[in-house]
Amino acid sequence: MPPETGWENVSEWYDGHLKEEGSLLKDVVYPSVLKLLDPKDDGRYLDIACGEGAFTRLVASKAKAHVSGFDAAPSLIASAKKLAPKQTAYSIGDARSFSKLYPAASFDGATCLLAIQNIDKLEAVLAEAAKVLKPGAPLIIAMNHPAFRIPGASSWGFIGNDTMYRHIDKYLSVLEAPITAHPGSDPTVKTVSYHRPISTYVNALAANGFTVSKMEELVSNRISTPGARAKAENLSRREIPMFLVIKATRT
């Protein structure tokens, strides 16, 4: 990936973020993706843009499977290798051209967690995934919900203290937006996020030999501390999903 869309320049922050207790990634996204992947003993699984390998280690702990991961950020892969269980393997690779790293049709399933929105060429990623997956194998993609989390074009709002709503300025337009990776720490360090409507993902999957079999919309598990707006905030969290997970099958 180009430097501005990869996570090498924010790898130290990202590595620390994954170690924090109570993160939505660990508590909400990982359980959903793991259930949809349903890894089997002796299976072979791939995590696309794996970061420092947190999800690969989770898969390895739940099944006696071999789990591979790759990422464009060398420092994140170095972290993954330090923590690697014996049945895991990691490589440095570009999500748009990673099939050369693995034998064709060699994986029983693949995942891509909160990374697809930071990759500029969606079709290339899916074409590469199709090459390394066995027929009938699942590809699970988790992302910030495209209908409700649009960089620079969505926000929370209140009507008094009783109603909290999500304001959406744009949805159908494909957008490229610079993102401050860790505001408050170093707001000058940015990466790039790509917003696409849900139809773009479904159509791109179909064009590259996948059939969508399931979608899950995940809400935050956080609860507000008591206050004037707590009831409205908690209702919005239960009703407005923050993540979208798509399960597609390699045909």
Cα dihedral 28, 33, 34, 36 sign: positive
Confidence of residue 179 (pLDDT cuts 50, 70, 90): confident
**Residue 55: CB atoms within 10 Å:** 27
Confidence of residue 81 (pLDDT cuts 50, 70, 90): very high
Is the separation of the CB atoms in 7 and 72 below 8 Å? yes
Residues forming a β-bridge with 249: 138, 211
Beta strands in 99-162 (DSSP E): 109-113, 138-144, 154-159
- Would you call 33 exposed, middle or buried from its count of C-beta atoms within 10 A (0-12, 13-18, 19+)? buried
What are the tens digits of pLDDT across the range 52-65? 999 999 999 999 99
Is the separation of the CB atoms in 214 and 247 below 8 Å? yes
Q: What confidence score (pLDDT) does residue 7 get?
A: 45
Percent of the chain predicted with pLDDT > 70: 87
Q: What confidence score (pLDDT) does residue 190 get?
A: 65
Confidence of residue 23 (pLDDT cuts 50, 70, 90): confident
In order of 76, 153, 245, the CA distances from 205 in angstroms are 28, 25, 13
Does residue 12 have a pLDDT over 60? no
Calculate mean pLDDT across residues 6-19: 46
Does residue 13 have a pLDDT over 60? no
Does residue 6 have a pLDDT over 60? no
- Label the pairing between strands 175-180 and 163-168: unpaired
Cα–Cα dist 171/145, whole Å: 11
Is the separation of the CB atoms in 17 and 79 below 8 Å? no
Is the separation of the CB atoms in 55 and 66 below 8 Å? no
- Label the pairing between strands 88-92 and 210-218: unpaired
Calculate mean pLDDT across residues 225-236: 97
At the topology level, CATH places domain 8-146+196-223+242-250 in: Rossmann fold (3.40.50)
Is the separation of the CB atoms in 47 and 113 below 8 Å? yes
What are the tens digits of pLDDT across the range 65-78? 999 999 999 999 99
Does residue 19 have a pLDDT over 60? no
Closest Cα partner for 139 from 56, 45, 225? 45
* 3 state DSSP class of 61: helix
| Residue whose token pair is 């159908």 | 172
Q: What confidence score (pLDDT) does residue 191 get?
A: 81
- Would you call 24 exposed, middle or buried from its count of C-beta atoms within 10 A (0-12, 13-18, 19+)? middle
* 3 state DSSP class of 214: strand
